[in-house]
């Protein structure tokens, strides 16, 4: 990765106060980006994730909403590259409230596409999702083989890909979509009804409490440490090979871990022998997920740096340092 490109670039990170977005902001700031602008409405992100950069000359925070086209257009002014991380995540939340999920993930995404089209932005890289594979039973997941979506959230993320394709076709903008596979790591929120499984598990084990595992624990995921997602974003923003642009890529580790294996690994890391409680399986959940990352490797040069075991140690250490006692 050419760090000189970062020093010369002006970046907009939508959802930059959220989990993946704030990790991307941190990387850009640590590598002396010319400009880092964050657009976030702080509905699921947290200002404390980016507070250390406030006041620095190359950092700007805009509290705004991607559902507002004016906010999107203002945020894209004088920007070279956009990493669009703003979205309303969680399959269960989308099943409970499909309208809001649609408004944020589809209408908000369309607003960003229009703002990019009407500005001088060179490229938009956006957060797609492995949920797009839906009920496809084939493993590992290859980008051009998908099934029917299993949740409103999955529908919205697939529509993002369709809109990006149409805007590239009709308006000539450059886009790249990254299908994240269960990203985890520091700054991910462990609280609330829609917390992701790894921060939830780590929060429980720090407290000495048993987690609730949905189903029998055999559900398998390609858990991906956040540094790999950051790497994929930067590679996508800067790739020059025309064959690599206006594409969709899996971002994962090509390593499947079941929920039972995940909990057992955390027990080994922490030395705590706590048995989980098993509950009902959640509606809309994909049962097995494993990515083929050969496309990202060949066209972007993506190589995951942190396998699950390493990422879990780093994540646990961060939460242990940042969890109030």
Catalytic residue among 133, 153, 184, 316: 153
What pLDDT score was predicted for residue 215?
87
3-state percent breakdown (helix, strand, coil) of the chain, nearest 5? 45, 15, 40
Q: Look-up: residue for tokens 């994909």?
A: 286
Task: Say whether the peptide bond before residue 129 is cis (omega within 30 degrees of 0).
Answer: no
pLDDT of residue 282: 76
The stretches in the chain having pLDDT less than 70 are 1-2, 192-195, 284, 324-325
- Interhelix angle 108-117/152-171, nearest 10 degrees: 20
Question: What pLDDT does 91 receive?
Answer: 87
E runs forming strands in the chain = 10-14, 35-40, 59-63, 81-84, 123-129, 175-180, 183-184, 212-214, 220-221, 224-225, 247-251, 257-258, 277-279
CA 174/CA 132 separation, integer angstroms: 21
DSSP 148-171: --SSHHHHHHHHHHHHHHHHHHHH
Work out the burial of residue 114: count CB atoms within 10 Å of its CB; fewer than 13 is exposed, 13-18 middle, 19 or more buried: middle
Catalytic site residue 153? yes
pLDDT confidence of residue 3: 76
CB neighbours of 167 closer than 8 A, spacing ≥ 6?
A: 113, 116, 117, 173, 175
Q: How many helices (H) and strands (E) does the chain have?
A: 12, 13
Structure confidence at residue 253 (pLDDT): 95
- Altogether, the residues listed in the chain come to a count of 325
Model pLDDT, residue 193: 62
pLDDT for residue 275: 93
- Running DSSP on this structure, what letter comes out for residue 313? H
* CA-based nearest residue to 255, from 185, 311, 175, 217: 311
- Which pLDDT belongs to residue 251? 97
What is the reported pLDDT for 281? Answer: 83
């Amino acid at each position: 990765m050419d760090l000189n490109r970062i020093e010369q670039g002006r970046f907009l990170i939508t959802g930059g106060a959220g989990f993946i977005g704030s990790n991307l902001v941190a990387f850009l700031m640590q590598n002396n980006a010319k400009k880092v602008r964050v657009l976030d409405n702080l509905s699921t992100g947290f200002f404390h994730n980016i507070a250390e950069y406030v006041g620095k000359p190359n950092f700007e925070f805009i509290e705004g909403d991607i559902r507002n086209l004016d906010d999107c257009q203002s945020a894209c002014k004088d920007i070279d590259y956009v990493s669009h991380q703003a979205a309303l995540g969680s399959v269960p939340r989308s099943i409970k409230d499909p309208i809001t999920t649609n408004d944020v993930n589809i209408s908000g995404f369309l607003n960003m596409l229009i703002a990019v089209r009407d500005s001088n932005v060179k490229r938009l890289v956006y957060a797609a999702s492995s949920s797009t594979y839906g009920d496809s039973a084939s493993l590992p997941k290859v980008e051009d083989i998908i099934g029917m979506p299993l949740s409103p959230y999955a529908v919205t993320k697939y529509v993002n890909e369709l809109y990006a394709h149409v805007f590239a076709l009709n308006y000539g903008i450059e886009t790249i979509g990254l299908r994240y596979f269960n990203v985890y790591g520091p700054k991910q929120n462990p609280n609330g009804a829609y917390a992701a499984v790894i921060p939830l598990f780590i929060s429980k084990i720090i407290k000495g409490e048993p987690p609730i595992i949905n189903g029998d624990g055999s559900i398998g995921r390609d858990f991906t440490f956040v540094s790999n997602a950051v790497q994929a974003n930067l590679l996508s923003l800067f790739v020059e090979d025309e064959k690599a642009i206006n594409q969709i890529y899996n971002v994962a580790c090509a390593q499947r871990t079941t929920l039972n294996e995940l909990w057992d690994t955390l027990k080994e890391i922490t030395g705590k022998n706590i048995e989980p409680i098993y509950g009902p399986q959640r509606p809309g959940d994909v049962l097995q997920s494993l990515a083929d990352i050969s496309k990202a490797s060949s066209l972007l040069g993506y190589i995951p740096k942190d396998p699950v075991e390493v990422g879990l140690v780093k994540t646990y250490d961060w939460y242990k340092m940042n969890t109030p006692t």
